[in-house]
Structure 1
Amino acid sequence: MNRLFFRFFVLVMLSISAAAFIVYFTINRMYGDPIGSIARNQAAAQIFLLEQYVDKAPADGWLDRLNKVREVSDVRFDLIPLAVARQQVPADARAAFERGEVVIDIGHKALFRRVDLTGDKYIGSNEEAIHAQHLPIDIQVALQMEAVRYLIVALALLIPIAVWSRSHWRGLQKLMQVADRFGSGELKVRAQMQPGDSIYPLAERINHMADRIETLLEAQRGLLHSVSHEIRTPIARLEFALELLHDTVGDTVLEKRIGSMQDDLTELKSLVSELLGMARLDSEQPLRYETFDVTAALRSCANTLPPSTVSLDVSVPDGLGDYYGDCRLLMRATGNLLRNAQKYANGQMALSAARKLGGVTIVVDDDGAGIPEEEREKVFEPFYRLDRSRDRNTGGFGLGLSIASKAVSLHGGSLRIETSPLGGARFVITLPPA
């Protein structure tokens, strides 16, 4: 946000600078060089003496008056040959010099003018020029005055713009904070703006959007929670009925089919439990923070895995220290990753952890087929499963990784997938400093 207003400030300053140059060149084009006009004004007294006193003398008194001016003036007046004057006059002013006009040499604080075009002042006056030096010309002061003028104009523009921008900036800061809190799960938060605020219409539209999103999410969570709870009742009845049926039936084929139906019910119960866990995870705010020992928690999580032919190498060192967070959620995320590795490993999996920069890194490896790079973001989506895992023996429901990702993100951490040194997939949980 600060970058936006800084760029706006730089743009305004560049526009003012560009306007100053455009004004200067436009005036120069239409009315002549303004700096030359300033220099001529500063030398106005010497030009006045020359034109109104010396030039008004009778033909035989012109030199006498020039000498009197020399005596009383700090400016040095010399008569130089016309050829020399032509060499010293600036190139862009030679035409005016030849017409008998006063030409100012700003750099040397001097002026040039032909004495006479016809030789009427004295014999040979048409071959000489007046060269006045040490004129009281100080362009530096004039330039400083111009700079002060433009600075005043810039301030007169920037102060109202700054006041106007400040209200926008504060309003946008509030909207940004609301967006951050809403994105972190505080669905009740809204932008509080006054009708007179400049971005009030934008805030109202964001509030309407937030209301709509909250309504949809609440409806989705309510539906998921209600359906999951409602399904449990018929599942329990079916389990009871199948159990009774299994006890009364003696046919081996029928018993096998009843067993298959019971497996389906078990799978359905597992799905309902996952859905309820997902719904609770979405609505659990705030987290149940506590200080727990990382080493003990991870080792306990590894010990809760169901028996399997896949070997588990636990490389969790002693002394990882304590971490402040929701132990239950974090260990559930780690457990989901371990069970996922157990499903797809060929025969080996590993759990390791380390303390880095105050945070905790937890790594789960397996030697299975791995996960293609283009699929690594998608596997965290609910109900998403890779093609190779769609069979009922290993497929699951596609909710375990999604739950793990949500649990880690609620702690401000990240969960990413890499290629494991064992040859399969590596899941890396990175938790920030608590």
Structure 2
Amino acid sequence: MRRLLTHFYVFLLLAIIGLGWSLEQVWRDYQPEIPPWFSALTQSVSSLTAQAESPDQLSEQIGLAVVVVGDGRVGWPEAEQRRLQQGEALPVFSADQSLYLYLKKDDVVWRIGPIADGTESTNYWYHLLFFVLLALLTTLWIRPLARDLHSLESHLNTFATDQSQTLQLPKRSLIQGLANSFNRMRNQIQHLLGLQRELTSAVSHDLRTPLARMKFILEMPDSPEVREALSENVEEMESLVETLLDYARLEGQEELLELSAVNLTELCENLAEKLEQLPGPPISLHLPAQCVVACDGHYLERAIQNLVQNARRHALAKVAVHIEPSPKHIQIHVDDDGSGIADHEKERVLQPFVRLETSRSRQSGGVGLGLTIVARIVEWHHGRIDITRSPLGGSRFTMTLPRRTQ
């Protein structure tokens, strides 16, 4: 919007200056010619002026207004001053095209006239021409703006029924920034609608399974085993709901990142100590003595934790965490010795609610959001995540983060 206002004021200023200068040149070229009878009148007035003792006396004799306007030394070019000194009469047209006669009497200049009235309507025509041309130029400036605004309005009117169309405007459009904001909003809405569909699909599948088991258990005679099974299903439902809500809360949190200097070595050591208390293969650490990077420690710890938990879930006996620092980047590798991931599945596994194990059983764990959360957190930190073959034989998840400083 600031660009639009600046462009408008600059255009208006240049239009006024350009039109004013052009019409002034035309005005100067349009100066009327001196009437043929003016030469005889000049000679007659010059002789009467030489005989007159005062401006009033001359005015009575010729029937024209006569006033003293100065001594002839200020406001006159040198050529006109010489002519006045030589006693010549100078004809001058005023702004309203009235004709005046200037003569020097003694040490002062007398102005006689107006001898012939100018046509004041000419001024009005020039003023009218100026405003008409200004209106025409303004219309030419507004027309593409109105066209682009109409395109924006049309897209907004059809947005409710069709979110796939992208608003395309010329690169020099004055509302290009507004169009870009609209396209970003459209992409965000499409993303949220996709998230809603994904959540609905996941809820319909993952929550119905424990609900069906709970209904079946309730039909059985009451016993400690039944109550224990019912409690397990309730815990599973709570975990599923918490995971779904947690993922939904992550949307739009990028602007809330709190970057600080975090020692990744210390973070990984503390995380491994905490996860070692849970069932699963041991975690082998290969870390530098110290590795400090500017990041959000809370979210980055969560990303590494999700990768380690995923590796322990699919590993046979080994899980390893490596940190490789470089001058520009920090790479965090999480390896396992499991069966690995097929090449055609590597991109899909990072998408929401995607699980390579389609049964979604409790033993295989999760609802397919852990790796998606990792990808989102890495994206927030302007990094990337890659999936390759691990030296241990399974999969290697590599987070590459820029080595920024606070």
TM-score, normalised via structure 2 length: 0.48
TM-score, normalised via structure 1 length: 0.45
